[in-house]
Amino acid sequence: MTQTKEHVYQAKAIVIGGSLAGLFTGILLHSIGWQVDIYERSPHNLSSRGGGIVLQPEIVAAFHQANVTYEAPLGVVANERLYLKPDGSIAQRMAMRQTLTSWNLLYGIMRRHFPNNHYHSDKTLAKFEQTDDQVTATFTDGTQATADLLIGADGADSTVRQQLLPSYQPIYAGYIAYRGLVNEPDLPQETAALLTKRFAFQQFPNSHILQYVIPGEDESLVPGQRRFNWVWYVNYDEVTELPELLTDKTGRQRDASVPPGLMALAIEQQMRDYASQMLAPPFQTLVQATREPFVQTIRDLGIPQMAFGRVALVGDAAFIPRPHTAAGVSKGAANALSLVEALVNYNHNVRQALEIWETDQLRLGMHLWRRGQELGDRSQFTHGKERFGTQNKVSERLQHLR
């Protein structure tokens, strides 16, 4: 382990995927002296579909490590959790301070920090090949890139993973999230006052909804310019119900989500009716004020291997924990933090560093994956797989609780 030569060669990395996990990896590898090129398949600037994100410590640590400067704070502080009764009154308050941020804010900060000439849009990976000494990526436009390390940070439907582990695909968890964002001025004052500075929940059999305030679309933290972010988990049968739910207003059936502005009108109306029946008045108001709700299927993905010689999978390309863990984004940051730590500790020996790195990161991924299943299954399936209200016995339980 004793080093005797000055390190002169600048190591090179290819990162496939330019969303959050790719950017975390990019800025962190850059911070330990690597030359990094990020390849993103989308031809446009990425825009947020994710909405709110809980600011976990790994995100802050990654920014610190990469010397990413930002105007503190990195999000909006909520001071307590609020549990609402069906009538909208407060069932319980609990002190619990958290910082809530957004996909936009994290993406914007990292994207501005990462050198533009090394961020390549409209680049779709076709395949990669590796030897003992290097790895080469070939893109669908015929161009190639060669480096010491290739990172698959290309999300749930990762092309890199498909080449390495073709039989591993995300699995539908049995429920979806209706989601929405509401600009602060668009919510009636009374509801806004209740939901500001708070992480608010309403729990009912086989479902729950939650909300918190996040930065504005332009990253603003100024009161009045921020957004209410809500997530409502609802069970849908994969065979009999999900295909219709995922068919957008143009008639196209989507794989895993329906973005803002594209929900079919009949589906959106069903959701709004359902909200009027089930939700406490403040949450009803929140859903009503949402102009472009969207749908995200909840999926599980776990894999048995993350390091493959000079290739590694990070973020959603490796593990998708359910959102109840509030750790999807911070896991990507943790993957990248741990990667650079291993590279530094193992003298930038890629294969050795990846081997050590993998042990911990598999453990982290497995843990979050299982913990998310426990949390989600408990809240969504305690009374069977049904969506609440479709069976009398469950309906009776609600009556009893009201």
Q: Give residues in contact with its own copies (CB under 8 A).
A: 1-7, 31-33, 56-58, 60-61, 64-67, 72, 81, 83, 85, 90-99, 203-204, 340-341, 344, 347-348, 360, 363, 367, 378-379, 401
- Angle CA(108)–CA(51)–CA(176) in degrees, nearest 5? 145
Q: How many angstroms separate the CA atoms of 258 and 288, rounded?
A: 18
Minimum Å gap between C-beta 203 and its own copies is 5
Nearer to its own copies by Cβ, of 3 and 392: the residue is 3
Tell me how long the chain is: 402
Nearer to its own copies by Cβ, of 128 and 199: the residue is 199
Burial (CB count within 10 angstroms: exposed 0-12, middle 13-18, buried 19+), residue 400:
exposed
Q: For residues 148 and 130, is the Cβ–Cβ distance under 8 A?
A: no
**Among 216, 196, 258, 262, residue whose Cα is nearest residue 104:** 216
Minimum Å gap between C-beta 142 and its own copies is 34
User: What are the residues whose beta carbons fall under 8 Å from the beta carbon of 64, sequence distance 6 or more?
Assistant: none
Nearer to its own copies by Cβ, of 248 and 377: the residue is 377
Minimum Å gap between C-beta 83 and its own copies is 5
Burial (CB count within 10 angstroms: exposed 0-12, middle 13-18, buried 19+), residue 13:
buried
Q: For residues 51 and 102, is the Cβ–Cβ distance under 8 A?
A: yes
**Among 334, 295, 298, 284, residue whose Cα is nearest residue 314:** 334
Q: For residues 109 and 30, is the Cβ–Cβ distance under 8 A?
A: no
Minimum Å gap between C-beta 33 and its own copies is 4
Minimum Å gap between C-beta 11 and its own copies is 11
Nearer to its own copies by Cβ, of 59 and 245: the residue is 59
Minimum Å gap between C-beta 154 and its own copies is 26
Nearer to its own copies by Cβ, of 54 and 181: the residue is 54
Nearer to its own copies by Cβ, of 55 and 264: the residue is 55
Q: For residues 274 and 293, is the Cβ–Cβ distance under 8 A?
A: no
Minimum Å gap between C-beta 9 and its own copies is 12
Nearer to its own copies by Cβ, of 61 and 289: the residue is 61
What are the helix (H) ranges across 103-169? 103-113, 159-164
Minimum Å gap between C-beta 91 and its own copies is 4
Nearer to its own copies by Cβ, of 345 and 391: the residue is 345
- Angle CA(246)–CA(248)–CA(252) in degrees, nearest 5? 90
